[in-house]
Structure formats: structure tokens, C-alpha cells
Amino acid sequence: MKFRLKDLEELLTKKPNWRTVVNLLNKKSFETILENQYLEVDILPNRFADAGNILGLAKEISALTGIKLKPLKFNFKEINKKYSDFVKIECKTYKCLNYFGRVILDVKNSPSPKWLQEFLESYGLNSVNLLVDLSNYVMIKFGAPLHIFDLDKIEKQTIIIREAKDKEIFTSLKEIDYKLPKGAIVISDPKKVLALAGIQGAKSAEVTLDTKNIFIEAAIFDPAIIYRTSRELNLQTEASYRFERRVSDINTLRALEYLAYLIYKFAKGKVTKKYFQLKPLEKPKKILLRYQKIFDYLGFEIDKKEIDRILKAIGCSLIKKTSNYIYVTIPLERLDLIEEIDLVEEVIRIFGYDKVKIKFPTVHKIPSLNESYQFVNVLKKDLKEIGLNEVLTYNFIDDEDLNNFIRFFKEFYQEPIEILNPVSNLYRYYRPFIFINHIKVINKNLGLYNWLRTKNIYLFEIGRVGGWINKKITERDALCITITSEDLDKVLIDGKSILNYIANSLGLKKFHITPSKYPKDEFDIFGYIHTEEENILGFIGLINKNILKKYNVEQPVLIIEMQVSNLMKYYKEEKFYQHIPIYPAIFRDISIIVPEYIQSDIIENEIYEVAKDLLEDIELFDIYQGPPLKENEKSIAYHLIFRSPERTLTEEEVNNIMQQIIKRLKEKFGIILR
């Protein structure tokens, strides 16, 4: 908020050093900037009720600097007629927390004097006429929005505070019609709406230069209702901004009386006796503050007289004091001070955080290392070492993302986690899988941001995913690896290699993949990843081309997603190393044609079964489909590495094993050697 130095100086008994004030505010209260005779102050939400106005900020400055405030005097004479002779007020909703009102007669409305026009202009408001301008002046000074009605335009001089009727129309001061939402609060007479409570007045009871008799409204409305109504109607005003952040009833009543004084002084109005009050003012809260509580939080003792001085400076009144505690009443405008800990915070804040000595606690126990955290760091390091790039994506997806994979989603969850108040429709649901956002990352990196003009993208991310299962929100950490390239064979082979690398790093020989027939409109190829013990770790899939087109991706994308907790079961911090082999290896390549439906994983298992311990490793290095092969055929090629830990193998032994492998594959799968 912006505050003119001149207006603050008028409330203080002497002119402060503003650079010192800014330094104190930044250290102890709010972020503040001094620029061109104005303070720009970022008032915290919990302090807006008391400090979000000129008088409130002046009180804060007084508490910090010790400069006293000038007393506000607003005496006026009341005529020998009661407000109730001229207006009747009815409240029909609990959403009005309190309501005050005054009647003033025979006002002489006119254009505003120059000082008032300049004041409003400095706070970004336009001058309307004397009465309206004075109410805005008081709002900025006290922080309490007030509204003035032309009393002669109110039907039967009856004011009703109620909730809006279904589809009721409200015509604003700018003559714009609004269809009011259910639950909105309105001020009306028996025939028409006079104001949208806490937001803006209606054209029907507008104050003009011809206005003679007025009713001043000073109210407190439910902040949540004002917030919801203003957002639904897209109608935010200076009044709604303040009501949304709460207004204290004492400030509201003071503002009403001050406005009555100003109208009495400048518009020669005749103020009627007494004012309307819906409910009694809240009683001041009483809090017992133990000195030792402050010492415990500070870590050392300070003079108790200094504590007493600070409490008095922020407006607390003494009830009782002993050597152990002080019992005080809280200023009515300080809505943020509720219990003892709030006063502890206030005392330390005004005392100065910079005076608190740094004292590190004595550590008696060294905490154990978080195994999950350690595992994730090792996993990230391993994946980066083989050339994968770590990304961090948003944890949210939109309707289109969810619908693209809705069948797949229902295999894992019952319902998506919907965000109650999303920042945007693009972030409507909590993500059930990470790979959905990786497709968007690929789209960006293949397009506008692809300054390297690369078509090969290798990504990984470890993050949270979740959904509803058995009426409970279930969350877990997941590892997602996404690979894309123009070459489909490269995508498939690299995906298999990365899986083998992760398996080896966990001390496993390899992962196994069990094909699953998912709908072709989501995945062209899909399988579950598991260990030899059939423990499912996650899934691997080739995204369907039609779905990729929706994200403007025109090359194959392979995704691997596994639960981190499942992988962690096989993680061992201790590493076991094998001796460097002392006997040479013998290498063989084998290229075969098999039916399309047979997975490479199954073929590898058969080869291991034949070769036993003499086969050290298998490496898939080529997959091909297309002419001259038949439509339902594919070609697969492997590197085979033979080695014995006890002796040197002969060519004859390896050739014999190769013949047995070929024979087994022909019998099992009907392969053709290429």
C-alpha cells in the first residue's frame, strides 16, 4: 500500500527521520520502500485490519520510534431528533457481523475543496463530490469502508440487510447490471437493491449534489462472502479489498463518528441523536503473558521493564503485574493478537530480531541418514552418468491430459485428485503419472527451444504422483524415464539398455518385461517391468502415434515409469566387486527373424537357459521391421559374450553352444537365421 509522508506526519507529534523509519519497518514490521515523499508498504494479511490505513501505520511507527501520536478530536453537536425517527433498519442474515448507521439532515453537498481532491488523487481515487470524497478520505485514514445513501431515495425509509434473491439484478454506480450469485449480501429497501454489501453502492440511492438528507452505513461483513461475490462478479473495489482482509468493529465505529464530524464541519449537516448498532462491540481480549515464556524463546533474559514498555507501545492496557507475569487487555483493532504466543512474538519483534544472539543447540545424537534420500541421489547420479537429462515438471495436468490416458489411468486409480482452487485449468488435477508432462517437455524441446536442432532427447525425473484408491488419496514417489528419437529401433534398444543398467546398478542381472495388451489408442507397445521373483516394479510403453499428434510430437516416444520404493528394496549401499577376468572372452553375433509378437526378453531367457554360466552377457543391438520381411515378422540381432571364470574356452565349445542355442530357438519360436 502507498502512504503519503505528509498524511503520516499530521498524526505524529514530531517529524521522524523517514530513512530511520523505513529501516525499522523493514527490520520489524513490513517490507517498505521510500520514494518521492511516499512509503510503499507491503502490509501482511494478518495485520491489514489494524495497519492497512494511515492511522494504523502511524501507530506502528509510534511503537517503533517512540514518537507519540496526536490525539484525534472530532466533536460535533447532535440535534434533538433521533435517527430512529428517520430510518428503520432490519438485518435478515447472519453474514452481517455488525452494522452501525447515522442519519444526518440538511447537508450542503458541493464539489470538494482542493486539499481533499489532492488527497484522493495521491491515493489513486477520483473526486466525485464532497460527501463521497469525505467517506473515501475516512476509509483511507481509518481502513474502514463506509457508504452514504441518499435517505430521500430509500423506499419507506427502511433499510434491509439480507441475502440476494435467486438471479436478482444489481445495477452498479456505473450503471452495469449484475446477476447476483447465491449467498451474496445486499442492502435494500422494500422495493429495490440499494447496494451490493461490502463492494459497491447501487445507482438507485446514489449521492448527488442535490442530496439533502443522508444515511451513513458502517458495517462488518463476512470476509469469505465478500471475496467470493467479488470474484464471481469480477467486481473488485477499494471497499471489497478491505472487507476481504477483515475490518475491526471498533475502527468501523470510529470511522463513522469521524465522518459524521467532517460532514458536520464541511457540509454543515445536522447530526441526529445516537447511532444504530446491530450488536455490542466485542469485548477486549485479556491475555496473561509469562516473562519466562519470552526468555525461553529469546534464549536469554531481557529487562522486564522493556517488555512492559513494548506492550504499552502497541496499545495494551495493564490489568495486573507480578514478578512472573503481566496480565493485559489487547487493543480491539489488533485482530491478530489472540493468545500468549502472539504477544511473545510481538515483544520479540519490537525488541528486535537483530538483537537475538545466535546460539547453536548442543547435539547429543547424530541423526541417521535418510535411506530414501540417499537412494534417490545415487539413482540420479547413475542416470546422469549415462547421458540422461534431469527435468522438473509441474505436478499437475489438465482435462485433456487425463482423457488421453483415461483407460490406462483406471488400471491404477479409481478417481483423479482434483484441485479445489487451481491457479489455471491447465493445472486442474494432481498428476497420476509423470510421463504425461514429459510429452509436453519433448514438444517444447523439439520446437521453439530446440536451438541445438537435436532429435534425440533423453529425460528422467523423480517426483510425486497420486490418485484416489479405496476412498483414500494415495501418493508415491516415481522414477520416469522418457526417450525419443526419429529412429524407432534406437528408442527401443536404448530403453532396454537403460533398464539393464538400472538393474545392474541395483545388483540384479536384469529386469524382465511381461507384455500386456493395452488399448492401441494409448500405447502401441506396453509391458510390466518385474524381477525374476515376479515383483512388479513399474511399466514400459511406446506412446500411440495419434496421442503424440495431440501434443504435436511426430517421432516415437518410449516411457519407463517405476515406483522408487519398489526399486529401493534392491538397493544396497555396499558394493561388491568382481576380479578382472583373467581368461579371454569369445564374441559371437546372432541375427534372427521371429514372429512380431515374441518379446526380446523371452528370447534372451532361452539363450541363457542353454548357455548356462558360460554366457557372460547378451546385448541387443538391432531391431528391424519392414521389407523384405513379412508384415508380422521382425529381425532381432544380439551380441553374445562367452567366458569361463576357470579356464579358456575353445572355439569348438562356443560353436557347439551356438548350435544348441539356434536349435532351441527354432524349436521354441520357429526362428530363421539371417
Are residues 270 and 413 part of one domain?
no
**Nearest C-alpha neighbor of 557 from the set 458, 479, 445:** 458
**551 in any annotated domain:** yes
Please state, in angstroms and rounded to a whole number, the distance separating the CA atoms of residues 342 and 350. 12
- CATH classification of the domain holding 118: 3.50.40.10
Q: What's 481-499 look like in SS3?
A: EEEECCCHHHHHHHHHHHH
Identify the DSSP state of 181: P
| 3-state SS assignment for residue 534 | coil
Q: Peptide bond before 595: cis, by omega within 30 degrees of 0?
A: no
Residues 6+ apart with CB under 8 A from 261: 74, 75, 76
Same domain, 116 and 244: yes
Domain of residue 345: give its range: 286-351
Domain boundary among 65, 99, 119: 65
- The answer to the question of residue 365 being in a domain is no
- Distance in angstroms (rounded) separating the CA atoms of residues 468 and 84: 59
Cα angle for residues 63, 65, 67 (degrees, 5° grid): 85
Residue 303 is placed in which grid cell? 529487562
Residue 442: CATH number of its domain: 3.30.930.10
Q: Are residues 20 and 84 in the same domain?
A: no
CB 607 within 8 A of CB 510: no
| Domain-located, residue 358 | no
Residue carrying the nine cell digits 489438465: 398
Q: Are residues 233 and 260 in the same domain?
A: yes
User: Are residue 333 and residue 465 in the same domain, yes or no?
Assistant: no
Neighbour count for residue 35 (Cβ, 10 Å): 9
Whether the CB-CB separation of 616 and 587 falls below 8 Å is answered with: no
Residues 518 and 616 in one domain: no
pLDDT of residue 452: 59
Please give the grid coordinates belonging to residue 442. Answer: 519433448
Q: How far apart are CA 601 and CA 531, in angstroms?
A: 12
CA-based end-to-end distance of the chain: 79
Provide the whole-model pTM. Answer: 0.58
pLDDT tens digit string along 83-142?
999 999 999 999 999 999 999 999 999 999 999 999 999 999 999 999 999 999 999 999
65, 90, 106 - which closes a domain: 65
265 and 378 share one domain: no
Under 8 Å CB-to-CB from 579, ≥6 apart: which residues? none
132 CB contacts (<8 Å, ≥6 apart)?
148, 207
Q: 456 and 552 share a domain?
A: yes
Nearest to 300, CA basis, from 309, 291, 312, 308: 291
**Is residue 300 included in any domain, yes or no?**
yes
Domain containing residue 643: CATH number: 3.30.70.380
Task: Single out the residue in 516, 540, 568 at which a domain terminates.
Answer: 568
Specify if 335 maps to a domain.
yes
User: Are residues 297 and 271 part of one domain?
Assistant: no
The pLDDT of residue 367 is 66
Helical ranges in 123-248 per DSSP H: 130-142, 223-233, 238-244
Q: Is residue 37 part of a domain?
A: yes
Same domain, 90 and 161: yes
CATH of the domain at 300: 3.30.56.10
φ/ψ of residue 417, rounded to 5:
-85, 110
Residues 6+ apart with CB under 8 A from 322: none
Strand partners, 476: 465
Residue 37 near residue 44 (C-beta atoms within 8 A):
no
The structural domain count of the chain equals 5
pLDDT 10s digits, 453-478: 678 899 999 999 999 999 899 999 99
Q: Which parts of the chain sit beneath pLDDT 70?
A: 363-368, 448-453, 517-519, 572-578
Closest Cα partner for 645 from 607, 612, 614? Answer: 614
The reply to whether 553 and 433 lie within a common domain is yes
359 assigned to some structural domain:
no
Pair 634, 541 in one domain: no
Three cell numbers, residue 103: 442519519
Q: E strands of 68-157, at which residues?
A: 78-82, 88-91, 96-105, 146-150
Backbone angles phi, psi at 629, to 5 degrees: -70, 155
The 10 Å Cβ neighbour count of residue 588 is 15
Does residue 563 lie in a domain region? Answer: yes
- Residue 518 confidence (pLDDT): 61
Tell me, rounded to whole angstroms, the distance of Cα 212 from its chain centroid: 50
Q: Cα–Cα distance between 435 and 560 in angstroms, integer?
A: 8
Residue 357: predicted pLDDT:
80
